[in-house]
């Protein structure tokens, strides 16, 4: 067909469309893993920042009450006064207790096995141990160590 037969309209050939789709696919294949690694690292850093925030609030709780919350009282003691606790002047966190970046609750133990308390997120897989985004984020050591 000539251009005059189509009213002067021009279109793309199937080959041109396939070339563009291939180029877009190659670019996505190169960029997507980098974005995924960035997001995985962001989740780990978010979990570590939240754990550090809990640590600060727990220290203030201890200053007021002369002790850390028990395992049974949990992190909820930072928002609501546990029964029988003298000197509580909270809430010690301005917002509700968040879940970890993978939508699971943080694990809090007091006394802890690694310090006066332990706070744990088991990472993306929700299981102890692991590497990358599956690694545990804990209160007693830095990410990746």
pLDDT at residue 57 in the model: 96
Q: For the sheet containing 137-138, what is the strand order?
A: 107-109, 118-121, 137-138
pLDDT of residue 29: 81
pLDDT for the residue numbered 42: 87
The CATH number linked to 116 is: 3.30.700.10
Task: State the DSSP code for 85.
Answer: -
The domain of 87 spans 13-138
- DSSP element (H, E) containing 65: helix 14-65
Total domains in the fold of the chain: 1
Say if 128 falls within a structural domain: yes
Per-residue pLDDT, 35: 72
CB of 82 closer than 8 Å to CB of 73: yes
pTM over 0.85: no
pLDDT of residue 3: 52
Between CA 64 and CA 58 the distance in angstroms is 10
Position 94 in a domain: yes
pLDDT of residue 143: 66
Bridge partners, 138 (sequence order): 120
Max CA pair span of the chain: 90
What is the SS3 assignment for 137?
A: strand
Q: Can you give the pLDDT at residue 30?
A: 79
* pLDDT, mean of each 10-residue run, the chain (145 residues): 59 88 86 71 91 96 96 96 93 94 96 95 91 90 67
Is 122 buried (19+), middle (13-18) or exposed (0-12) by CB count in 10 A?
Answer: buried
Token pair belonging to 38: 């960035």
In this structure, what DSSP letter does residue 76 have?
G
């Amino acid at each position: 067909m000539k251009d005059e037969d189509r009213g002067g309209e021009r279109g793309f050939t199937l080959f041109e469309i396939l070339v563009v789709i291939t180029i877009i696919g190659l670019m996505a294949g190169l960029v997507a893993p980098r974005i995924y690694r960035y997001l995985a690292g962001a989740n780990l850093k978010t979990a570590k920042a939240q754990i550090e925030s809990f640590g600060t609030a727990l220290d203030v709780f201890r200053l007021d009450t002369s002790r850390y919350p028990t395992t049974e009282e949990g992190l909820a003691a930072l928002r609501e006064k546990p029964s029988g606790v003298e000197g509580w002047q909270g809430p010690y966190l301005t917002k509700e207790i968040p879940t970890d970046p993978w939508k699971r609750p943080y694990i809090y133990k007091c006394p802890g096995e690694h310090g006066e308390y332990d706070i744990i997120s088991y990472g993306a897989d929700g299981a102890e141990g692991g590497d990358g985004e599956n690694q545990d984020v804990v209160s007693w050591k830095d990410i990746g160590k």
